[in-house]
Amino acid sequence: MDFKKMILEDREKERSNKFEGTLLDYLEIIKEDKEASKLSHKRIYDLIMEKDLEILRPEENVRVRKLFGNEIIKKYNFFKEDFFGIEKVLMKIMNYFYSAAMKGEEARQVLYLVGPVGAGKSSLVEALKKLLEQCPPIYVIKDCPMREEPLHLIPKHLRADFEDLLGIQIEGDLCPVCKYRLQHEFNGEYEKFPVIRQGFSIRSRKGIGVVPPVDPNNQDTSILTGSIDISKMDLYSEDDPRIFSLNGAFNVGNRGIVEFIEVFKNDVEYLHTIITATQEKSIPSPGKGAMIYFDGVIIAHSNEAEWSKFKSDHTNEAILDRIVKVEVPYCLELNEEIKIYKKILNKSNFKAHIAPHTIEAAAMFAILTRLSPSSKVDSITKLKIYNGEEIVEKGTTKRIDITELREEAGLREGMNGISTRFIIKAIDTALSSSEQHCINPLSIMESIIKAVKELDIAEEEKKRYLNFVQDNVRKEYNKILEKEITKAFIHSFREQAESLFNNYIDNAEAYVNKTKLKDRSTGEELYPDERFMKSIEEQIGVFESSAKGFRTDVTSYMFYLVRNGGKLNYESYEPLKEAIEKKLMASVKEISRIITKSKVRDKEQDKKYNAMVEEMKSKGYCDYCCDVILKYAANNLWRD
């Protein structure tokens, strides 16, 4: 790594971004680059779109088809690395920015994110603020406390001419400080007013203003719109702008973002600035001064309880009318939820080993608590459907319409349940209490159970949550584990599965077409092997009467696949895949029982056992968790 090169390159970049000139110079720049003077909403919209997006169509993307039906999903690269399973939320946010960038009504509305704790509201705003910090610097009037757009210097009577010449619209008026300076320092010669380029910064409050919830007894509006500097009151008169300290969130957030954290914890009076800032695009100056033009994206967020309270008070209508509300529910898709935890864990300094399926088990629990109960399917099935998985029942993939489930669940789904933070804390606890520096699904479940017991929620709810871990998640994990160990045990699981598959397809095809099959080695003509086919079908509950239909389905599906250029393998048709895996698992049950009894193992069995351990280690287990998990399996699996 070449530090010096890095530093020099950065300095060069900074130098090339530097600009010190006058309004006159700035006008020349605008002539070449109209975009230089764009408003805040458009700036953010463009910055996100610059990183491009992927358009996912249901006819091309299986996941989209399964989860969203006929909808087209837009996946924005800007959010892709950090946000998971909330595509539709992001699309709504982007709709807001698009309309606002087009100067639609949204440009005069607050973007308000509401959702349960730990659903990612703050992180979303954080991402937008960071985006501004990384964008190229903008042109501002030098030393203006509002860092305002230099075009404000152009007097009203010349605006139309300038707009024609430049091909842009000029919006907004000079702030009182600059107005004063123009008269007293520059003698009204606005073209000489200095202009510089300056970036955004969260820390030094440049273009990014944050309003934390304030003490209701002390709702001093100076946090929002600045104050009067009392020390200067002796020097200047009361209406002299030189006594202003324009350092409120709306002042510093001009041209960028003003964020309201837990917005409705504040008094309504306090929020009135929001009304003028959105509707009139201006904010009051401290004292009795004139209004000041403001252009910024106002983003507020809070949880639902506060929203409901605020909404129920009809005196708040004026503000309610100026809000674009976007609900940010929890992620309900298992695979995406796992990504959230992996992202957070990657940022932490814990260096322990994490056994396979550990995060999965935790994520499963979180999602189960968030799903509304359904009358159509059980919770685990619903979780799988929401995860885009195929559900196999009685030999066919069960067609359950996800949109029906969503409708049944109503709009509240995802707005309740266990938070991301709860799970992360449970994982952290398991990590820090593991002496072997290794956590596994069992230790994570234990950690979750402990944490649930300590939760301050209704007894009924607690019972439901505990049941999810102790029953649903555990059973599901047992199934996963049984399959995994079997696969590790049958060294050539894949080959055996493929060979069963080919054999089955040959037989089923002959059966359906009422032909004979040719034995590949002897050339003998044989009748389809009824017993063999049955031994597979019975694994998934296909018996006598339904067997014919199943064989027809399989055969025509395979025919369809081949015709469409698909590849045939044992995983091609979900019900058959499940049947074959079960058949293989059943065939090793006997052996599995032996392997778990270490004392009575003979030499041959020992060899097999060791090979299995090696196989599991190659799949991500360490010595320690492999041992723990196998002991658990010995005591709990293959027991039906």
Interface with Mg ion (CB under 5 A): 122
Q: Does 212 bind ligand ATP (CB under 6 A)?
A: no
For residue 403, what is the enclosing H or E element?
A: helix 402-409
CA–CA dist 595, 432 (Å, integer): 32
Q: Which residues pair with 501 in a beta bridge?
A: none
Q: Does 85 bind ligand ATP (CB under 6 A)?
A: yes
Q: Does 84 bind ligand ATP (CB under 6 A)?
A: yes
597: its two tokens: 């009894």
Q: Does 587 bind ligand ATP (CB under 6 A)?
A: no
What lies within 8 Å, CB to CB, of 150 at 6+ separation is 23, 26, 139, 140, 141, 193, 195
Least distance between ligand ATP and beta carbon 343 (Å): 6
Please pick, from the candidates 90, 258, 340, 547, the single residue that binds ligand ATP as defined by CB under 6 A. 340
The distance of Cα 630 from the centroid of its chain, to the nearest Å, equals 35
Q: Which does 344 bind (CB under 5 to 8 A by kind): ligand ATP, Mg ion, none?
A: ligand ATP
Please pick, from the candidates 22, 37, 48, 120, the single residue that binds ligand ATP as defined by CB under 6 A. 120
Please pick, from the candidates 123, 276, 316, 587, the single residue that binds ligand ATP as defined by CB under 6 A. 123
How many residues bind ligand ATP (CB under 6 A)? The answer is 19
Residues 497-516 that bind ligand ATP (CB under 6 A): none
With contacts defined by CB under 6 A, name the span among 80-88, 161-169, 182-190, 470-478 that binds ligand ATP: 80-88
- Which has the closest alpha carbon to 625: 353, 341, 427? 353
- Buried b / exposed e over 572-594, threshold 16 CB at 10 Å, is bbbbbbbbbbbbbbeebeebbee
Please pick, from the candidates 117, 235, 411, 457, the single residue that binds ligand ATP as defined by CB under 6 A. 117
Q: Which does 83 bind (CB under 5 to 8 A by kind): Mg ion, ligand ATP, none?
A: ligand ATP
Q: Which does 84 bind (CB under 5 to 8 A by kind): Mg ion, ligand ATP, none?
A: ligand ATP
Instruction: Specify whether the CB–CB gap between 73 and 56 falls below 8 A.
Output: yes
39: its two tokens: 């408003």
Q: Which does 421 bind (CB under 5 to 8 A by kind): ligand ATP, Mg ion, none?
A: ligand ATP
Q: Does 421 bind ligand ATP (CB under 6 A)?
A: yes
Looking at the Cβ atoms of 119 and 140, the one nearer to Mg ion is: 119
Query: By beta-carbon distance, which residue lies closest to Mg ion?
Result: 122
What lies within 8 Å, CB to CB, of 315 at 6+ separation is 268
With contacts defined by CB under 6 A, name the span among 13-21, 79-87, 366-374, 583-591 that binds ligand ATP: 79-87
Q: Does 387 bind ligand ATP (CB under 6 A)?
A: no
What lies within 8 Å, CB to CB, of 592 at 6+ separation is 485, 486, 489, 637, 638
Strands of 355-419, DSSP E: 392-393, 396-397
Please pick, from the candidates 48, 67, 73, 86, the single residue that binds ligand ATP as defined by CB under 6 A. 86
Looking at the Cβ atoms of 122 and 569, the one nearer to Mg ion is: 122
Residues 274-303 that bind ligand ATP (CB under 6 A): 303
432: its two tokens: 């820090």
- Give 636: exposed, middle or buried? Use CB within 10 Å, 0-12, 13-18, 19+: middle
* Residue 224 CB neighbour total at 10 angstroms: 26
Positions touching ligand ATP (CB under 6 A) are 82-86, 115, 117-123, 303, 331, 340, 344, 420-421
